[in-house]
Amino acid sequence: MPSLPFHRRARRGGAAVLLVLALTVLLGAQGSPVAAQSADAAAIDSSAAAAAATAAAAAPTGRVFWVATNGNDANPGTSAAPWKDLRQSMQKLRAGDTLFVKGGRYASPNSYVIRPNGLAAGTPDKRITVQAANDQVFLDEPLAIDNAQYWTFDGFNISGNGARYRDTTEPPGYLVQFVGGTGWILRNSKICCFGTYGMVQVWGQPKDWTISHNTIWSNPGRGAAADTDHLIYVHPNTGSGPGYIERNVLAGSSNGSNIKLGASSQTTANAGTSGITIRRNTFLGAWTNVRLAFETAGSLIEDNIMLGATRDWPDGPASVQPYCLDGRGNVTRTDLWYGPPTRRHTDPIRGTYCRYSGQWTDQGGHVKRDPRLPVSTSAVYNQRSLSSLDQSQFLPRDVPARSYGRFSQFDQALTGDWDGDGVDTPAGVLGNRVHLTNEASDAGSVEYVAPGSGESERIITFGKVGWRFVAGDWDGDGTDELGVFDPATATFHLRTQEGRIGSFSFGSRSRSYEPIAGDWNGDGKDEVGLLDTKTKVFAIRTSATTATSFQFGAVSAAYQVTTGDWDGDGKDEIGMWRVANRTFALRHCVTATCEQAPTGIVMGTQALAPYYQPIGGTWERGQRTDTIGVVLWTQWLRARQNANPTTFYPTRNYEG
């Protein structure tokens, strides 16, 4: 969880315990202080959803080009002299390039689809990005992408205007289609209002793909066979994966599912998907929210809000429904559902038609609770325009429900100096994927960060789901990197900038720990530590062969821990956040006895205290000491000083 910072070079580390509750909260204008005594649940309103929609412009690692509806393809592709044709512009890009798309309506001449041919390949370190320059970029024709290698498509508006696909060649039967590819991302887009068997479709054998932060709604169906029209349709791609569908709003599929994984029939070769994670989405209105069909295998469905499943077949509506499922390794857990009669997992067809049924494990932990969305189930059906719905309508008015769905927080919140500039910035963990940004602040009320502003985001997959993350400067080069702790083996795995992994055992397999990291001796390199959550004893690793230990905190109390250099001496210390009295206790050494007594700082309000994730960091260049802060849903807040009385200041909204 949280991790900490350092004024000189950065060293992070920390562990904040997984928080429940989620959603972006805009607690005031950018740079304006938020009094610890004044923040309460009433401050959370629909403005939070607007902040959640923020799309960060990636810092270009290569050339930068522009395209505009009033451009010319003979131009050099600059902002002042942009290209015109979107399809041809994408075909000109190379690894590391960024194409900014100016506002306007785009189509492909003499075609019914925007389908670029022969796309160049990006790499994990040199992605190719096609980025809407503002929220007024509209595609008047479907977007079809074949074999994209490390491409990002960010911020588009695509609407079928309520039309229905009639199985002809014009137009295609989708609004967005990806075939094959590796490492591609579709994010921050609004896609709506088209009757078809899949508004967003994924085909072939794509690897490591992501659909995130989109609003996809209103598939009125084709008027064809029952239960055959879906919002996202991932068709047979056995042998592919992983794939991630996360932090989306998916609403209104009147003749099918919000998401369907698998083929249209069991006779299809490779009639299932593999390795798809569906998490932290908000579902509303469909025959069933998620359908797993035939040979679909290795799916993980968790932490979603699932509402409005309406089809009463065979024995009641189902949030998640297996359909002749014989693929193995499918798991559901910890979702929020609501609606009569109950949340169900049932196989609608048994007998000779299905070879097997019900090949998945429900690990439980589900919550039945009304999230009190501002929008009704009936309102998400049969819409015809992009303006008919807004993400703010899917922000739960029930505060505890915000730990689920589109607006929920990260599993863990970290901070680190990811680019070596002396300033700590956010990182968030979902499963075993970490979303990192090098931007410490954002524009607040502006939906998009200004193109070329320098923000760079990365997604790093590391370790296994359930391992705990830390961050630190393991080699003293001034840049923080990630580490993970495997509790089953009491083993740390630390990652360097070059991708090398160093592993070592520390602690006991029989104990329950929270891992931390910090520069304990001021030598410029971070080391790890462990908090025994039962005894409140810290074990601090000072070298490969030495360690020290001390007890801090009441044994019977519950804490979350972070680390930082609280007094500016170049050495990191421990900070403990106690929800019961909304107090940070900052310890000023990592030895058995300290010359200075711990500093106690009361922060926030008791109503919100259970939802804070503690962090520490160096938030400004030249800052000599680390200061404490919290993550409240997806709003990152920091204290101006480590003293009473204290005030929260918004640092930025960040949700990956």
Look up residue 192 and give its two tokens: 């709506």
Amino acid, single-letter form, for residue 632: L
Q: Is 269 exposed, middle or buried (0-12, 13-18, 19+ CB in 10 A)?
A: exposed
Report which of 478, 485, 545 is spatially closest to residue 517, judged by C-alpha positions. Answer: 485
CA distances from 492 to 468, 499, 541, 549, 573 (A): 9, 15, 12, 18, 20
* pLDDT of 60: 58
Look up residue 289 and give its two tokens: 């929210």
Decide which of 608 and 406 is more confident. 406
Report which of 90, 98, 68 is spatially closest to residue 80, judged by C-alpha positions. Answer: 68
Judge whether residue 198 has pLDDT over 70. yes
Decide which of 524 and 111 is more confident. 524
* Structure confidence at residue 270 as a pLDDT band (50, 70, 90): low
Question: Could you state, in order of their start, the residue ranges of all structural domains in the chain?
Answer: 60-141, 173-373, 410-447+454-653
Contact indicator for 217, 231 with CB cutoff of 8 Å: yes
* pLDDT of 441: 67
pLDDT tens, 345-381?
A: 444 444 334 555 557 788 889 898 999 999 998 899 8
Question: Partners of 305 in the beta sheet?
Answer: 282, 336
Contact indicator for 506, 489 with CB cutoff of 8 Å: no
CATH architecture, range 410-447+454-653: 6 Propeller (2.120)
User: Mean pLDDT of all residues in the chain?
Assistant: 82
The SS3 call for residue 620 is coil
Contact indicator for 86, 103 with CB cutoff of 8 Å: no
Average pLDDT estimate for 208-216:
95
Half-sphere exposure of 106 (CA within 13 A, CB side): 28
Separation of alpha carbons 316 and 331, rounded Å: 21
Contact indicator for 457, 654 with CB cutoff of 8 Å: no
Task: Pick the range with the lowest mean pLDDT from 45-59, 205-219, 567-581.
Answer: 45-59
* pLDDT of 93: 97
Contacts of 400 (CB under 8 A, 6+ apart): 20, 21, 369
Task: Pick the range with the lowest mean pLDDT from 144-158, 217-231, 278-292.
Answer: 217-231
Decide which of 1 and 519 is more confident. 519
Task: Compute the CA torsion angle 174, 176, 180, 185 (nearest 10 deg).
Answer: -160
Decide which of 309 and 539 is more confident. 539
CA distances from 233 to 106, 244, 612, 656 (A): 25, 13, 36, 24
pLDDT tens, 121-164?
A: 999 889 999 999 988 999 998 999 999 999 999 999 999 888 88
State which CATH number among 1.10.10.60, 2.40.50.140, 2.160.20.10, 3.40.50.12640 fits the domain covering 173-373: 2.160.20.10
pLDDT tens, 53-83?
A: 333 344 556 899 999 999 999 999 999 999 9
Average pLDDT estimate for 639-654:
77
* Structure confidence at residue 271 as a pLDDT band (50, 70, 90): low
Task: Pick the range with the lowest mean pLDDT from 7-11, 120-124, 296-300, 367-371.
Answer: 7-11
Look up residue 12 and give its two tokens: 């992070």
Report which of 94, 95, 75, 93 is spatially closest to residue 83, judged by C-alpha positions. Answer: 75
Task: Pick the range with the lowest mean pLDDT from 241-245, 270-274, 331-335.
Answer: 270-274
Contact indicator for 68, 82 with CB cutoff of 8 Å: yes
Separation of alpha carbons 8 and 569, rounded Å: 11
* Structure confidence at residue 526 as a pLDDT band (50, 70, 90): very high
Q: Hey, do 173-373 and 410-447+454-653 end up sharing a CATH topology, with the first three levels equal?
A: no
Judge whether residue 583 has pLDDT over 50. yes
pTM for the full model? 0.85
- Would strands 128-132 and 230-234 be described as parallel, antiparallel, or unpaired? unpaired
Average pLDDT estimate for 318-330:
83
Decide which of 100 and 653 is more confident. 100
* Structure confidence at residue 262 as a pLDDT band (50, 70, 90): confident
Q: Is 351 exposed, middle or buried (0-12, 13-18, 19+ CB in 10 A)?
A: exposed
